[in-house]
Chain A
Amino acid sequence: MTLSPLKTEFVGDKGAVFRLALKTGLLTVVTLGFYRFWMKTRLRRYYWSAVRPGGAPFEYLGQPLEKLLGFLVAVVFMAFYIGVVNLLLMFVSFSLFQGNFVAYGLSFVGILPIIFFAQYRARRYVLARTRWRGIRFGLEPGAWGYAWRAALYWTLTILTAGLLWPLKAFALEKYRTDRTYFGSLRLHQGGRWTMLLRAMRPLYTAAGLSILGAVMLYLSENPAWMLVFLLSVPWGIYGLAFWRADSFRRLSETKELGGARLTSAPRAGRVVGIYAGGYGLIYLCISGVLMAALALVAIIAALGVSMNPDAILNGDFSSIPGWVATMIGVLTYFTVFVLWDVFHHAFVKVPMVEHFAIETALVDAQNLSDVHQRDRDEFAEAEGFADALDVGAAL
């Protein structure tokens, strides 16, 4: 019987993820998007295998072609909705309201339940293709039950201006967790939704501060209240990071699997640091790439006769012929698009996954060895609907 906690190792590496994301991202652009199924699969394999509770890596076994198949299945059903229903909505919206915003709004509301449905199905697919210590995870069917609950809790959250966000977060997490299996063992989400109220505290106080500041500024015109209002912004950002870390901790520590439990201690300060550092680096790198592109254009201009390099470096592009401008524009667009994703993986996702992984450990796991394998969940639709709606699960 081992009683020491199984700590989680993280063996991922920014450089490796950078290379993998760059390679697969470029292939995705070159194939007009169809390589995205391979890209997603390969990146997941990497991340999964990097996270190793008790030294044992997760393994992701999803296949690109089954994702393509699932996507095609979703297209058959969704094309009708997107084409015909959207056309009708557009017609009604322009006829009655002289604008397309009503159509977009209705179309979005109409598709929300399908989005929730798709998210649950995508989670089922991902869990069914995830193994740890050779044992499959699984998620019971229940996508429609999830969809109406999600719609209900989201409505409550919006109606209360976000005050009931913890209720929504807890209820949906419990619905998912209680239907999750590790092999023959079922997970259980304990705790109550009110425990998440504390995780929201900085966000609540930030919201309170900004309302107070705005109201008092309006009433008294004393500029000191401006300071209070401005202060609520960084406090709110910290609040978001605190929610992320603390809600994860509380929800993890109240999960239970055959007597085994999780301990978790992610830190809000570190989460803020990863975001600030990560996005700062992304900003620097993308700017660098753009500057290099601009310099390249100026060099080409200096070699040719028709363009004016000095003007280009000063931001005056009128001397660039139309087709060159178009080509540069298209190339820059795709480069920035791909690089954004690549840098985001390397500078934000990797450190974030690492932090949450190494701060989480499994305790009292001695019964887990008795877990038996569960049958393969064929699930040919894969995450097709989520992919078609572009609401895929994280990673």
Chain B
Amino acid sequence: MTPDAQEQHLFAQFVNGRDARWQRVELHVTPTALRITRPDGARIEWPFDSLRRAPDQAGRDGIVLSQAGDKLARLVLKGKGPAEQIAGLAPNLTQRPPFENLGRLLKWSAAALASVAVIIFFLVPVMANQLAEFLPPEGEKALGDTTFEQIRVALDQTGLDPVQVCDRPEGAAALAKMEVRLNPYSDLPYPIRVQVLDHPMVNAFALPGGRVILFKGLIHAAEAPEELAAVLAHEIGHVVARDPTRDALRSAGSIGVLGLLFGDFAGGTVVLFLANQLINASYSQDAETGADTYAHALLEQAGLPPSALGTMFQRLKDKHGDAEGIIAHFASHPQLEDRISAALAADTGEAPERPVLDSDEWEALRQICGEAPARIPEPTRDIPPLKEPKAPDVVPSVKKG
């Protein structure tokens, strides 16, 4: 510091933090401190190493200074020159006081996590299981309709590629024939509604109120109509057991709680959707076994081979054994072997007296969304894991355990 600079008269505004006086004070730079001379002549000194600067302040030039340990007094310097001069002398301008309530923060973090965990993993599932038993059929149907629309929106996250429901009349007729052959109606208070989504994913799932959704990719992956009928029977098994209703109620409860946690930082939807996927990824092992058992009985009653379910699983395993995404979960899991052998064991060994669809009908079903590939396609590798639907369920039992 040159003597000249020390002779400079620097001025600033000062507040003492006890009353609201807005005082013009004179500043002097001493070797170790900033000396503040108030209008009444009183002097205070703020050592340079104790100076702190208020962060994120507006104004291109000028700074607001305080002294470490003094939470109230402030010095407001205007003008670029003085601000830079002082800033150059003070080494600890940007140091922050430590946060005082760290213990409390940790305690409440733990409490918040515990509260969310208890609600999402215990309270909501238990309640959903109980309430699903009491939901009347009309309510279940409405819930299924709502969930279906949500899933279509979710599958269409990019906004570039809307997912269509396929309904070519010949294919739909074939699908209806398959459904009639299975004839699950005595077990259900509402009709089954099977729909095909124009999406390459090899998957199928059930929704509350008797909706079963098949993806185009699954139809193309099946080599015989009996295999598709077996998957359909499995999904109907979930509907009869009301598994999708439980699942939908569960996500109704947990999605809001997750929204609470993540806030509305990005409309929340994407993260919410992903997070809910992780929690709600699957039905329980028991639910899957239950649906398989139901499917075996239904197929047998319809004069169709239960082993088709095993064949279908086996084919998916062979075809997509090393594929990425959902199929990997599904294919690598030992539980699948059990399901395959259970399906084979349930077979009576007799060939079906009459096939579920004749070859024309089967071709019509394969083309329900339009031109189908002549042969079974290679595993589709461009399915991102993002596009996994809610409760994907040919896959599911595998994810648990």
Cα–Cα, bound, A67→B112 (Å)? 14
Number of A-B contacts defined by CB within 8 Å: 228
Task: Specify the main secondary structure of chain A where it touches its partner.
Answer: helix
Cα–Cα, bound, A139→B320 (Å)? 64
Given contacts A65-B101, A371-B20, A45 and B158 within 8 Å (CB-CB) = no
Q: How far is the CB of A87 from chain B (nearest CB, A)?
A: 4
Cα–Cα, bound, A50→B112 (Å)? 36
Whether A11 and B123, one on each chain, are in contact in the complex, defined by CB atoms closer than 8 angstroms, is no
B interface footprint on A39-53 (CB within 8 Å = 1, 0 otherwise): 000110111011000
Q: Identify B265's interface contact among A32, A327, A373, CB under 8 A.
A: A32
B interface footprint on A62-92 (CB within 8 Å = 1, 0 otherwise): 0101101100110110111011101110110
Residues of B within 8 A of A20 (CB): 56
Asked if B124 lies at the interface with its beta carbon under 8 angstroms from chain A, I say yes
Asked if A234 lies at the interface with its beta carbon under 8 angstroms from chain B, I say no
Residue ID in chain A nearest B383 by CB atoms? A322
Task: Say which size band chain B's interface belongs to.
Answer: 35 or more
Q: How far is the CB of A335 from chain B (nearest CB, A)?
A: 10
Whether A28 and B265, one on each chain, are in contact in the complex, defined by CB atoms closer than 8 angstroms, is yes
Whether A54 and B115, one on each chain, are in contact in the complex, defined by CB atoms closer than 8 angstroms, is no
Asked if B83 lies at the interface with its beta carbon under 8 angstroms from chain A, I say no
Please choose the segment from A95-103, A162-170, A235-243, A281-289 that sits at the chain B interface, where 4 or more of its residues have CB less than 8 A away.
A95-103
Asked if A388 lies at the interface with its beta carbon under 8 angstroms from chain B, I say yes
Cα–Cα, bound, A21→B140 (Å)? 45
Given contacts A56-B76, A65-B101, A83-B257, A99 and B160 within 8 Å (CB-CB) = no
Task: Say which size band chain A's interface belongs to.
Answer: 35 or more
Residue ID in chain A nearest B15 by CB atoms? A134
Given contacts A79-B260, A380-B104, A388-B260, A317 and B55 within 8 Å (CB-CB) = no
Q: How far is the CB of B397 from chain A (nearest CB, A)?
A: 25
Q: How far is the CB of A358 from chain B (nearest CB, A)?
A: 14
Cα–Cα, bound, A297→B386 (Å)? 20
Whether B384 and A326, one on each chain, are in contact in the complex, defined by CB atoms closer than 8 angstroms, is yes
Whether B111 and A72, one on each chain, are in contact in the complex, defined by CB atoms closer than 8 angstroms, is yes
Asked if A253 lies at the interface with its beta carbon under 8 angstroms from chain B, I say no
Asked if A369 lies at the interface with its beta carbon under 8 angstroms from chain B, I say yes
Interface pairs (26), CB distance under 8 Å? A13-B58, A20-B56, A29-B265, A49-B56, A79-B115, A82-B259, A83-B120, A83-B124, A84-B119, A86-B252, A87-B249, A90-B253, A91-B134, A95-B135, A98-B142, A99-B142, A135-B15, A135-B20, A182-B20, A323-B384, A325-B161, A326-B387, A330-B157, A330-B270, A337-B267, A370-B20
Give the 3 A-B residue pairs with the shortest CB-CB distance, closest first.
A134-B15, A329-B158, A50-B58
Other than the given A94-B142, A322-B383, A327-B384, 8 more pairs (CB < 8 A) read A45-B54, A45-B55, A80-B119, A94-B140, A134-B72, A134-B74, A334-B266, A388-B260
**Chain A residues in the interface with B (C-beta under 8 A):** 11-13, 16, 20, 28-29, 32-33, 36, 42-43, 45-47, 49-50, 54-57, 59, 63, 65-66, 68-69, 72-73, 75-76, 78-80, 82-84, 86-88, 90-91, 94-96, 98-100, 132-135, 182-183, 317-318, 320-323, 325-330, 333-334, 337-338, 368-373, 380, 387-388, 390
